[in-house]
Chains A and B, each alone.
Chain A
Amino acid sequence: MKEKIAIQVDDLTVAYNYKPVLWDIDLVIPEGVLMAIVGPNGAGKSTLIKSILGIIKPIAGSVSIYGKPYEEQRKLVAYVPQKGSVDWDFPTTALDVIMMGTYGSLGWIKRPGQKEKKAALEALEKVGMLPFKNRQISQLSGGQQQRIFLARALVQNASIYFMDEPFQGVDASTEIAIINILKELRKAGKTLVVVHHDLQTVPEYFDWVTFLNVKKIATGPVKEIFNDTNLTKTYGINYKVAVNK
């Protein structure tokens, strides 16, 4: 199979204080995969995404998106941060938050217009939140807030999506709605990198997986590498997972 490389990470090392959070990560993510990053708490999953996106400055290493440095390829990349990373009591509406997804392509100073609003409304519709467009964001449920964040990334119309725990604290119906959108994006040829906690759903949701615990343990197709050996290596205990075949 001839595969194009979407994301390539070389020798990435990140430390907050003295202890490294990520150590010498080499990672190649082919185009068009729906990939989960799994690992225990403190394994550096969020940090990996944040340093690929330039939010955190690594000590060493480089990242390239379709063969070029990330800074030149920003427009190809969208980000869904953890829901808990912002203050939801901020005075703004659901539609307004989604409009923020268009700010990157607008650049400095230029204001969003009708075209941007239309795109935002379409994204709202896609995540099933159109009736809530004028709702103050603190009055949305946790699942609805997560959908808003997803919609904001959809508006960016990117090729690569990084998502930090999009299923955290959402109910079953939102989880299904989100995973359906992710699968749709993959079908459209997009590449998705998702920090994920629920090991049970990995084989069902994802086709690619990276095991991470400060170092990279393994990366590859779920069918080939999602097994007890790698889980045990990553989580440090003899891990048996009930995989529904």
Chain B
Amino acid sequence: MNLYEYFELLFTDYTLRTITLGTAVLGAICGMLGSFAVLRKQSLLGDAISHAALPGIALAFLITGAKDSNILLIGALVSGLIGTFWIRGMITKTHLKTDTALGLVLSLFFGFGMLLLTYIQKQPNANQAGLDKYLFGQAATLVEKDVFLMMIVTGISLFVLLLFWKEFKILLFDADYTKTLGFNTRFIDILITFFIVLAIVLGLQTVGVILMSAMLLAPAAAARQWTNSLSTMIVLAALFGAFSGVFGTAISASQNNLSTGPVIVLVASVFVLFSFIFSPGRGLLFREIRFRKNRRDLELQKTLQFMFGIAQTHENVSHPHAIKILNNFQGFTRKTLQKLEEKNWITIAGQEWSMTIHGYNKAKNLYNQQEEND
């Protein structure tokens, strides 16, 4: 099945439609809540939480013996939340820095989770296979009720986001100030963190614990490049996330069932790369173009000013001068002269140039004009 066939089947095949819808919804909620993680400079928190969820999945399986995804996700949610509170506790109660606490919890929980997974695999139980899909994700295993759950959680978090929009925004920007206004910042903080944990846990089946954090960060990082408004950023991040989910799943399903997580993350990374280079305001390309254009303009103006200095010494400002006398001036090229002539600031006749009245006035006011532009 190639990519084209995949999208054609989308309209007829029930399973494919379920999977695609699921990854789209997942991408959207991750982009939305990931924006908060990025703006709070808690990008790595997502990584720690997703890794911390692994032992929860394994324990839930060991305790219940069932592979029902909802039960496993509850296990993931519990151990993810425990990991989060450990991190917070470590930061406030000890002198450890945030990155140290994150690293410790991440490796401790993940190590424990892997240990449990290998233990489960050694058990003589036919039901055990397939838990390792939570490492890298397998979208193909999504069923209708998984997608339904995703949609409910997305709906709830969207509702909460809209309800507490003002509180979320001010907390993200200036937490201390928010406190002085009388808001319970702890409550807002826990609310945001809880929904981030929820989004991560929802994505584990599709993207897997190892790459889940990229799903949160990449769409948000890409969206930030295109806008200076928080609401637009969140909408864009949700869209980028949804597209990454859909395309990643499509590629993964059409190419021999590749692990979905890595493919989705690669697609999301393409969004990031594209945004970093091509976004008009902050992108590298347009910044470079603006930079070069400014340099060229300045060179041009500098040359004009130099000519102005020479022209001033004559009563007739349009008195012709040899091009040669410009040679000791840096930044002057043939092209510069052509540009100046195009702008009607000078005229060139053979090996001589002369300033036009227009150019003379322009040069005279050059410095003043620049001040106005500032």
**Which residues on A are within 8 Å of B, measured CB to CB?**
50, 53-55, 71, 74, 77, 79, 81, 85-87, 90-93, 97, 100, 103-104, 106-112, 136, 152
Contacts and interface: CB of A to CB of B under 8 A. Distances in A.
A100 B180 contact: no
- Chain B interface residue count: which class? 20 to 34
Contact of B167 (A53, A55, A108, A136): A108
A53 B178 CA distance: 11
B177 A100 contact: yes
Interface string B170-181: 101110111111
A103 B174 CA distance: 13
A126 B285 CA distance: 39
B211 to A, nearest CB: 26
Contacts of A106: 166
B174 A100 contact: yes
B39 interface: yes
B133 interface: no
A53 B183 contact: no
B81 to A, nearest CB: 24
21 contacts: A53-B179, A53-B180, A54-B179, A55-B176, A77-B180, A79-B180, A90-B39, A91-B39, A91-B228, A91-B229, A92-B229, A100-B170, A100-B174, A100-B177, A103-B170, A104-B182, A108-B183, A109-B164, A109-B166, A109-B167, A111-B166
Nearest to A153: B177
Given A55-B180, A79-B180, 9 more contacts: A54-B179, A55-B179, A71-B182, A79-B176, A92-B169, A92-B230, A103-B167, A103-B170, A111-B166
Nearest to A101: B181
Which of B170, B176, B181 gathers the greatest number of chain A CB atoms within 10 Å?
Answer: B181
B164 A54 contact: no
B182 to A, nearest CB: 5
Contact of A81 (B164, B167, B177, B233): B177
A81 B173 contact: no
Contacts, number: 75
B204 to A, nearest CB: 29
B227 interface: yes
B283 to A, nearest CB: 15
Nearest to A70: B180
Residue picked from B167, B173, B183, most chain A C-beta under 10 Å: B173
B176 A92 contact: no
A55 B175 CA distance: 9
A81 B179 CA distance: 12
A85 B174 contact: yes
B181 A104 contact: yes
A87 B175 CA distance: 11
A77 B166 CA distance: 20
A218 B226 CA distance: 53
A77 B228 CA distance: 31
B91 to A, nearest CB: 14
Contacts of A111: 165-166
A120 to B, nearest CB: 14
